[in-house]
């Protein structure tokens, strides 16, 4: 890709994002489709988020115990796990899972609709395919990913608690009291905020690549693949930037 | 623009990269007629009707549809105009994730918001009855045959009661019997809904059965027009070849 095509693509994505904000706030609203997408992104992802969150909690606790025990600091496990899950793991792992599961689905679905002229069919029947297909999906990923991330944080802590309880016979109350001593409301807000950014990124990457798919079935595969690769890449970049900004505001640089 | 023309194209040009598909096309489609545009694959037929429907923009030339110059329309005006134009896609373009009822309901509820759910159900029942597929209401597109998909695709456009119908290869991929049924349906739609139609095809049987007037597109320009017999009463090899290849069987061709 030469430099002018690269900037042209950036400009197209910018216009796509601007159009999303126009369509999502201006009536008429596609309530039924928005609720459907909330269901598709949220409820359909619950089982995998539960499983991965629980395993993350158990494994991370197990791996951290030996290091902390060397310093006689095994009692720090609950707070370490809470910090790790709430500040980093829950939003990041949730976003990566949703990028793989939902992002690829959006890219493939819209790509397939594009190459089989279903999007053109919506346009010629005087409806707004962007509002129906794109705005609803980006809104759903932006709203649902933070909720899923919070849920994963909770499930991960439950996994951590089971492991700690099994090894140290810590009670449920004392585990969570200890876990939340180091967690502030700012951490919770940051989890929600950055998960919303990741969700928005997943939605835009999936919808943009699917909505602009071309060249038949090859284009559909490419749209799904690009949606996942681009969103995962951007999520890591965003994570790095957000952590830097958070530290800057927390500690003044 | 002719007095009773519903579509008027003047000097229409369209290129994709270095490939010039339309090289200055002039065309009038008159009220109540079925106009067939014939041509080989890649001759620009589909591009032409996609320009009329606003899916593509011409590089040059004017497009006047139902008295409106489409180059001057904003998004709202285009949306209003599109409710008066029906477009039947080559592959039907039914929404995979919706059943037949939802496919038909989709344009209706978004364009006629004042309708009650009973009005909507009545409108769906009527168009399904008109295309002879009342029993498919809750079937998914994947459960329909090619001919049924075409009919539902046509029903979805008819539900807004358009004044113009654009058919993109209506018989492509269908067996001869189903093709004739679709041709009959196109004629029924013209009479029952009083539409003016543009039918894009390379199927001469379809052209003969549905067309009141034919135009032949070759290398980006119209080379013949008139009734079926008039179009093919020529020694022009481009027209002769097209006619012969449509009616010579594959067996004869290989011999």
Tell me whether residues A118 and B157 touch, CB distance under 8 A.
no
Using the Cβ of B104 and the Cβ atoms of chain A, whether some distance falls under 8 Å is answered with no
Residue B139 region by backbone torsions, left for phi larger than 0, else alpha for psi between -120 and 50, else beta: beta
Using the Cβ of B232 and the Cβ atoms of chain A, whether some distance falls under 8 Å is answered with no
- CB of A141 within 8 A of CB of A39? no
- Tell me the pLDDT band of A1, cut-offs 50, 70 and 90: low
The answer to whether residue A16 sits within a structural domain is no
CA terminus-to-terminus distance, chain A: 37
- CB of A226 within 8 A of CB of A107? yes
Tell me whether residues B93 and A121 touch, CB distance under 8 A.
yes
What are A207-250's pLDDT values in tens digits?
999 999 988 889 999 999 999 999 999 999 999 999 999 888 87
Size of interface A-B (CB pairs under 8 A): 62
- CA gap B198, B223 in Å, rounded: 17
CATH of residue B71's domain is 3.40.50.300
Q: How far is A135 from chain B (nearest CA, A)?
A: 16
Q: Which domain holds residue B180?
A: 5-254
Interface test with A, best of B70, B95, B103 (most A CBs within 10 A): B95
Q: How far is A199 from chain B (nearest CA, A)?
A: 23
Using the Cβ of A123 and the Cβ atoms of chain B, whether some distance falls under 8 Å is answered with yes
**Phi, psi (deg, nearest 5) at residue B8:** -135, 120
- CA gap A91, A66 in Å, rounded: 25
- CA gap B177, B154 in Å, rounded: 18
Q: How far is B93 from chain A (nearest CA, A)?
A: 5
* Of A97, A87, A17, nearest in space to A51 by CA: A97
What are A173-184's pLDDT values in tens digits?
999 999 999 899
Poorest-pLDDT segment among A24-28, A166-170, B78-82, B229-233:
B229-233
Tell me whether residues B157 and A125 touch, CB distance under 8 A.
yes
The answer to whether residue A7 sits within a structural domain is no
- CA gap A234, A253 in Å, rounded: 24
Question: What one-character-per-residue DSSP string does B135-196 give?
Answer: GGTT--GGGS-HHHHHHHHHHHHHTT--SEEEEESTTTT--HHHHHHHHHHHHHHHHHHT-E
- Write the DSSP symbol of residue B72: G
Which one of B55, B85, B93 has the shortest CB-CB distance to A116?
B93
Query: What number of CA atoms fall less than 13 Å from residue B81's CA on the CB side?
Result: 22
Specify the pTM.
0.91
Whether the pLDDT of residue A69 is over 60: the answer is yes
* Of B11, B142, B162, nearest in space to B86 by CA: B162
Q: Which residues contact A235 (CB under 8 A, 6 or more apart)?
A: A92, A95, A96, A99, A198, A201, A202
Q: How far is A117 from chain B (nearest CA, A)?
A: 6
Which one of B87, B110, B113 has the shortest CB-CB distance to A124?
B87
The DSSP element (H or E) to which A112 belongs, if any, is: helix A104-115
Residues of B in contact with A112 (CB under 8 A): 96
Using the Cβ of B16 and the Cβ atoms of chain A, whether some distance falls under 8 Å is answered with no
The answer to whether residue A143 sits within a structural domain is yes
Residues of B in contact with A118 (CB under 8 A): 93-96
Using the Cβ of B114 and the Cβ atoms of chain A, whether some distance falls under 8 Å is answered with no
Question: What one-character-per-residue DSSP string does A125-163 give?
Answer: TT--HIIIIIIHHHHHHHHHHHHHHHHHHHHHHHHHHHH
- CB of A190 within 8 A of CB of A87? yes
Tell me whether residues A124 and B113 touch, CB distance under 8 A.
no
| Number of domains within chain B | 1
What's the full length of chain B, in residues?
Answer: 255
Using the Cβ of A124 and the Cβ atoms of chain B, whether some distance falls under 8 Å is answered with yes
Label the pairing between strands B5-16 and B19-30. Answer: antiparallel
- CB of B168 within 8 A of CB of B52? no
Interface test with A, best of B16, B47, B55 (most A CBs within 10 A): B55
- CA gap A103, A98 in Å, rounded: 7
Using the Cβ of A112 and the Cβ atoms of chain B, whether some distance falls under 8 Å is answered with yes
**Mean pLDDT, residues A2-25 taken together:** 93
- CA gap A46, A96 in Å, rounded: 14
Tell me whether residues A121 and B95 touch, CB distance under 8 A.
yes
- CB of B127 within 8 A of CB of B159? yes
Q: What is the pLDDT of residue B239?
A: 84
Q: What is the pLDDT of residue A210?
A: 97
Q: How far is B233 from chain A (nearest CA, A)?
A: 37
Q: Which long-range contacts (CB under 8 A, 24 or more apart) does A117-121 make?
A: A117/B89, A117/B90, A117/B91, A117/B93, A118/B93, A118/B94, A118/B95, A118/B96, A119/A211, A120/B50, A120/B55, A120/B87, A120/B89, A120/B93, A121/B87, A121/B89, A121/B93, A121/B94, A121/B95, A121/B153, A121/B156
The answer to whether residue A193 sits within a structural domain is yes
Which one of B50, B79, B89 has the shortest CB-CB distance to A126?
B79
Q: Which domain holds residue A195?
A: 30-251
- CB of A137 within 8 A of CB of A104? no
Which one of A28, A120, A128 has the shortest CB-CB distance to B93?
A120
Q: How far is CA A1 from the centre of its chain?
A: 28
3-state secondary structure of B207: helix
Residues of A in contact with B79 (CB under 8 A): 126, 128
Q: How far is CA A130 from the centre of its chain?
A: 22
Q: Which residues contact B207 (CB under 8 A, 6 or more apart)?
A: B36, B38, B199, B201, B214, B228
pLDDT tens digits for chain B (255 residues)?
Answer: 556 899 999 999 999 999 999 999 999 999 999 999 999 888 899 999 999 999 999 999 999 999 999 999 998 899 999 999 999 999 999 999 999 999 999 999 999 989 999 999 999 999 999 999 999 999 999 999 999 999 999 999 999 999 999 999 999 989 999 999 999 999 999 999 999 999 999 999 999 999 999 999 998 899 989 999 898 888 888 888 877 766 655 455 455
Q: What is the pLDDT of residue A178?
A: 94
Q: What is the pLDDT of residue A253?
A: 54
What are A83-103's pLDDT values in tens digits?
999 999 999 999 999 999 999
Q: How far is CA B210 from the centre of its chain?
A: 12
* Of A83, A81, A84, A88, nearest in space to A243 by CA: A88
* Of B30, B131, B122, nearest in space to B88 by CA: B131
The answer to whether residue A24 sits within a structural domain is no
Using the Cβ of B87 and the Cβ atoms of chain A, whether some distance falls under 8 Å is answered with yes
Q: What is the pLDDT of residue A225?
A: 96
Which one of A112, A117, A124 has the shortest CB-CB distance to B82?
A124
| Number of domains within chain A | 1
Q: How far is B92 from chain A (nearest CA, A)?
A: 8
């Amino acid at each position: 890709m030469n430099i002018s095509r690269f900037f042209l693509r950036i400009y197209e994505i910018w216009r796509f994002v601007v159009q999303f904000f126009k369509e999502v706030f201006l009536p008429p609203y596609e309530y039924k489709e928005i609720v459907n997408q909330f269901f598709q992104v949220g409820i359909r992802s619950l089982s995998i988020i539960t499983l991965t969150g629980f395993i993350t909690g158990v494994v991370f606790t197990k791996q951290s115990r030996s290091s902390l025990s060397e310093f006689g600091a095994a009692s720090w496990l609950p707070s370490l796990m809470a910090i790790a899950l709430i500040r980093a793991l829950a939003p990041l792992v949730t976003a990566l899972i949703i990028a793989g599961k939902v992002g690829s689905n959006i890219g493939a679905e819209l790509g397939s609709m594009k190459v089989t002229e279903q999007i053109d069919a919506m346009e010629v029947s005087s409806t707004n395919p962007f509002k129906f297909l794109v705005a609803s999906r980006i809104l759903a990923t932006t709203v649902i990913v933070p909720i899923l991330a919070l849920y994963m944080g909770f499930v991960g802590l439950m996994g951590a608690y089971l492991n700690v309880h099994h090894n140290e016979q810590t009670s449920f109350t004392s585990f969570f009291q200890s876990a939340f001593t180091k967690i502030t409301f700012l951490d919770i807000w940051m989890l929600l905020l950055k998960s919303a950014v990741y969700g928005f990124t997943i939605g835009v990457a999936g919808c943009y690549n699917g909505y602009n798919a071309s060249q038949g079935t090859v284009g559909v595969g490419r749209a799904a693949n690009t949606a996942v690769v681009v969103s995962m890449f951007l999520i890591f970049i965003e994570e790095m930037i957000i952590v830097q900004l958070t530290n800057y505001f927390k500690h003044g640089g | 623009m002719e007095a009773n023309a519903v579509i008027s194209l003047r000097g229409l040009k369209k290129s994709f990269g270095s490939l010039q598909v339309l090289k200055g096309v002039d065309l009038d489609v008159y009220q109540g007629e079925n106009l067939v545009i014939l041509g080989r694959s890649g001759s620009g037929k589909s591009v032409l009707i996609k320009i009329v429907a606003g899916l593509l923009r011409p590089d040059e030339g004017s497009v006047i549809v139902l008295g409106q110059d489409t180059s001057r329309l904003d998004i709202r005006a285009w949306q209003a105009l599109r409710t008066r134009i029906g477009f039947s896609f080559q592959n039907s373009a039914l929404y995979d994730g919706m059943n037949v009822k939802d496919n038909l309901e989709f344009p209706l509820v978004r364009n006629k918001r004042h309708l009650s759910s009973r009005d909507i159900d009545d409108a769906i029942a009527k168009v399904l009855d008109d295309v002879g597929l009342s029993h498919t209401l809750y079937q998914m597109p994947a459960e329909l045959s090619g001919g049924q998909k075409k009919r539902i695709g046509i029903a979805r456009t008819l539900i807004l009661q358009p004044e113009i119908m654009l058919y993109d290869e209506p018989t492509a991929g269908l067996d001869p019997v189903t093709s004739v049924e679709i041709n009959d349906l196109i004629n029924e739609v013209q009479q029952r809904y009083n539409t003016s139609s543009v039918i894009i095809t390379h199927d001469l049987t379809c052209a003969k059965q549905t067309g009141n007037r034919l135009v032949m597109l070759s290398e980006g320009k119209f080379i013949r027009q008139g009734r079926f017999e008039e179009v093919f009463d020529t020694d022009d090899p481009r027209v002769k070849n097209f006619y012969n290849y449509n009616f010579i069987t594959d067996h004869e061709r290989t011999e």
